[in-house]
A and B are shown apart, each in its own frame.
Chain A
Amino acid sequence: MATIRLTVNGKSYTVDADSQTSLLSALREQLDLTGSKYGCGEGQCGACTVLIDGKAQRSCVTKVVAVSSKQITTIEGLASGDQLHPVQSAFLEADAMQCGYCTSGMIMSAVALLQRNPSPNESEIVNFMDGNVCRCGTYPRIVSAIQKAAKSGTASSAKGAGR
């Protein structure tokens, strides 16, 4: 077990980790950042998605030791104070959730998508998001939320997206 330094949502933390410790368990169990969810443990559902240097990554299959020098953004770091990130606002406007368990991962993936492609068409959204599962079946609303966020035009320049 070693002490590893992590930068999460712009803040510096230390966590205890060995070579196998997943980023997801460090976030949830040591930093009490429980917005990133466990869904499958094999990178198949996207509920644990975080941004690592701006790229969407599955934190359940990412080892802590591999990301100690990187900028990590979780759902908790997306809003600026009371100001929601445009993707968060768009999810609320589109009612793009039922149980909401997939929502954090969906939003993080969507932020990464819009960073790469600020105005994706529907099939680009579907292709990019296909690794995120919503068992309640709110997919059409999520697509429409991402389109709303893209239209608002500020999604890619907002805090958290580019880091």
Chain B
Amino acid sequence: MSENPFADFQLEPERYELSAAAPYRFDLDRREFFKFLGAGLLVVSVLKPAVVAQESGGGRRRGDSLPKEIDAWLHIGENGKVTVYTGKAEMGQNIRTSLSQAVSEELHVPIENIEMVMGDTQLTPFDMGTFGSRTTPTMNLQLRKVAAAAREMLIGLAASQWQMDRQHLIAADGKIADPQSKRFLEYSALTKGQQLTQTVTAETPLIPAANWKVAGQSASKVDGRDFVTGKHRYPSDQKLPDMLYGKVLRPAAFNAALTSVDTQKAEQMGATVVHDGNFVGVAAASTEAASGALAAIHAEWKSEPQPSNKELFDYLRKNTVEGKDPTGDGDRYDVGNVDQALGSADHRLQQTYTVAYIAHTPLEPRAALAKWEGDKLTVWTGTQRPFGVRGQLAEAFHIPEDQVRVLMPDTGSGYGGKHTGETAIEAARLARAAKRPVKVVWTREEEFTWAYFRPAGVIDVTSAVRADGTITAWEFHNYNSGSAGIRTYYEIPNQRIVFHAVNSPLRQGSYRALAATANHFARESHMDEAAHTVKMDPLDFRLKNLKDERLRAVFEAAAKQFGWGKSKTPGQGFGMGGGYEKLGNIATFAEVIVDRKSGDVKVIRVVSAFECGAIVNPDGLRNQIEGSNIQGLGGALFEAIEFDNGKILNARLSQYRVPRFSDVPALETVLLDRKDIPSVGAGECPMIGLAPAIANAIFDAVGIRLRSLPLVPNGLKTT
């Protein structure tokens, strides 16, 4: 485990992860660090340990400078308190807990003694953002290294104090002990009066997953009590003395231009009113006063005709853009001769699959509180990219980034929907005018309209299959929904896989399991159709064309748990879907009941088998898998954004259906713990198998093939 096999591995760049600025270059001075942190021991982790070790000679640093491109650091104070600093953000994925476990494991301190400082651009090192299921494969590993380096350093300090060989010493429960003489030294005693710094090196030994005691065990949310008592302050709960509440005037349609505005009445009501270009906003002593002032503003907007969801899929096909692709050749994958193989096939199958725009609907809408002190700006906001939002604020107000501080209190979820800093900019603009702190919290309608959506898409699949069930050709064209998970993991000698970028009619961006949901829906539905074409069992058909051992293992484990092959009653149907995404492997089996009279489709049972390397927190992992399946039900069955001419038509929770208690099937989770494989993330991958599993189960139940997500927004017409 000392060598990370993924060290040079880059996760597939996610097209719609809104881009991040170049990493901030820290110019660090160790004296500044200790002035801020207090005396003790400091271990830093750098992004490119090998390079820095080469440049600096590695190991203990003597000068006053610290390496640039630090991505995390850990401090042990004179009181033995461990503080870890990371730019990652917590929004319900429970990384505050799983990262604490990692540090606790390597450093041998109880979890309660560890404080995680996260997502504060002033206190934590630069981080591109919390998305793409990267925290566990990258930050978890980095923090383990940091904690391990601290442990080794403490052992060294004790060894020199006792003048003995460090080999005989052990670290346990916040102490370095000499088991032979039974003497020990608390970490606090070793760090007292010290100003020691250490850089993580490639040689720092990590504890193998097989020997984990804290990591690998289920752990409850570290600050869970604050959440059940209402004490935790989310971004929308932040408050400052003399704070005002802000509201922003929204255009009548997307891309509309303001042609006239009359703010006189709002000003007469005592509100602070800002009209700056297309931005019109107000700030007042309460949300209701601000809403009242906003309603008193008369504005006229001009906009161009825009498409509706009814013509969406035609529109996507017709509005492709060339050369707009940031990942270049990654968009096109060719192997063998597809045309020839399609021409000479026993069976040739061509189908089109579509997915709708859907909204993240984080229960906490976007929120920000902004405060100016001279030219210095501080913003508390819910974002997955605190450093990205800092850059946006600096740009919006023409100030250097070091005059902007963004803090991210643990937020009310994101699911890929909180990468951007709209509310931060709005609150800051109003606060500058009001000369007082201003908080802006979006309404649900604003969140549904002015955030961004998971991309809609059209996917055309053409395959050639031999009578014996061997797939010989695979052509796959994805319009707009994204390229993550676009490649097939089935062994096919002739492939043409193309992503077509499109000028999206709606603002679109990241979403939990983003494009992988669409690509797996198309691929795994098509696999089912191909299996039926050659009259093979869908599981046998997949396994016949699948070599990847990890993927085979999850399909086989899920099939076993599900009882694949059992007999069914009328209206009952079984289906499967699965695949590979963000380094994890998932197979999902679903059971549905279709009521032929009412058209109701009920998902009765879902079995997921998941493998993400060595498991860090089994119960936290189950929670993520259950959550993925439940959230995934919405996009699979009924969620869709309706729009026309630049307006969202269902921008309320009463009009946009999300999964509720009564939608939840029986959920069974099989975890395959691969202690020999580095841990990877789990927030996204488990979602991708669900939609095709349900679509395939509906076909199994009633013989109707559904190729559009959501599958049954209005039930299923069987006649």
A: residues with CB less than 8 A from B are 18, 20-22, 25, 28-30, 32-42, 44-45, 47, 74-76, 78-79, 84, 88-89, 91-92, 95, 97-104, 107, 125-127, 129-143
Contact = CB atoms under 8 A, between A and B. Distances in A.
B361 interface: yes
A137 B629 contact: yes
B550 to A, nearest CB: 25
23 contacts: A34-B237, A34-B239, A40-B444, A42-B444, A42-B654, A44-B652, A91-B228, A97-B227, A98-B92, A99-B412, A101-B363, A101-B364, A125-B661, A126-B664, A130-B661, A130-B662, A133-B660, A135-B631, A137-B629, A140-B626, A140-B664, A141-B623, A142-B661
Contact of B363 (A37, A125, A131): A37
B132 interface: no
Nearest to A108: B230
Contacts of A125: 661
B366 to A, nearest CB: 12
A21 B288 contact: yes
B654 A97 contact: no
Contact of A92 (B224, B231, B659): B224
B61 to A, nearest CB: 39
A33 B571 CA distance: 50
B91 A99 contact: yes
B541 interface: no
A136 B627 contact: yes
B658 A133 contact: yes
A38 B411 CA distance: 13
B661 A143 contact: yes
A44 B363 CA distance: 11
A136 B228 contact: no
A136 B631 contact: yes
* Secondary structure of the B contact surface, majority rule: loop
B254 to A, nearest CB: 22
Nearest to A101: B412
B533 interface: no
Contact of B225 (A30, A78, A92, A98): A92
Interface residues of B, number: 56
A101 B413 contact: yes
Contact of A103 (B227, B619, B660): B227
A42 B233 CA distance: 23
Nearest to A88: B228
Contacts of B365: 38-39
B287 interface: yes
Nearest to A47: B363
A38 B443 CA distance: 9
Contacts of A103: 227-228
B245 A135 contact: no
B559 interface: no
B230 A39 contact: no
A129 B661 CA distance: 7
A90 B556 CA distance: 35
B714 interface: no
A28 B233 CA distance: 11
Interface string B231-244: 11110110100000
Given A38-B365, A44-B654, A137-B631, A126 B662 contact: yes
B674 to A, nearest CB: 24
B362 interface: yes
A41 B221 CA distance: 29
Contact of B230 (A21, A40, A104, A140): A104
A85 B47 CA distance: 45
Given A97-B227, A98-B92, A135-B413, 13 more contacts: A20-B288, A34-B234, A38-B441, A42-B652, A76-B229, A98-B94, A98-B627, A99-B412, A100-B221, A103-B227, A136-B627, A139-B660, A139-B661
Interface of B: 91-94, 220-221, 224-225, 227-234, 236-237, 239, 245, 286-288, 361-365, 410-413, 415, 441, 443-444, 619-620, 623-624, 626-631, 652-654, 658-662, 664, 667
**Among the interface residues B93, B362, B660, which one has the most CB atoms of the partner chain A within 10 A?**
B660
A25 B661 contact: no
A131 B365 CA distance: 18
A145 to B, nearest CB: 10
A149 to B, nearest CB: 11
Contact of B411 (A22, A36, A99, A133): A99
A107 B228 contact: yes
Contacts of A75: 228-230
Given A129-B661, A130-B661, A78 B227 contact: no
Nearest to A18: B288
Contacts of B619: 95
B623 A76 contact: no
A133 B653 contact: yes
B479 to A, nearest CB: 28
A4 to B, nearest CB: 14
Given A95-B619, A100-B232, A135-B413, A29 B658 contact: no
B209 to A, nearest CB: 22
Given A38-B441, A40-B652, A84-B229, A99 B363 contact: yes
Nearest to B232: A100
**Among the interface residues B224, B228, B286, B623, which one has the most CB atoms of the partner chain A within 10 A?**
B228
A29 B631 CA distance: 31
A39 B363 contact: yes
